[in-house]
Amino acid sequence: MAKYALYVSLKAKPGKEKDVEAFLKQGAEMSKKETGTVNWYGLKEDEGNYSVFDTFNDEAGRDAHLNGDIAKALMAKASELFASPPQIHKINILADK
């Protein structure tokens, strides 16, 4: 069971919703190359609000992800795509099915 996760909330700038969705789809493809990332989800919560939820077996995998290509791309595009900076939450998973 993966024990570590990240939840990243994202608010698209008006008119940038399609660009955010394309960015999240690209992130999913990029995550396939990360051996420490167990699951990676790009989510649309409601109009203009998106998030990423990803899981890791250990802290090393989560740290590698936070310092990897997806995180770098997210920060490089943040001011262009998002109304506010991405909110990154480190989460510990207590139970799963």
Q: Give residue for tokens 């900076």.
A: 85
User: How confident is the model over 16-45, as pLDDT tens digits?
Assistant: 999 999 999 999 999 999 999 999 999 999
User: How confident is the model over 56-71, as pLDDT tens digits?
Assistant: 999 999 999 999 999 9
DSSP assignment letter at 13: P
CA 93/CA 96 separation, integer angstroms? 8
Fold annotation for 4-92: Alpha-Beta Plaits (3.30.70)
For the chain, the domains span: 4-92
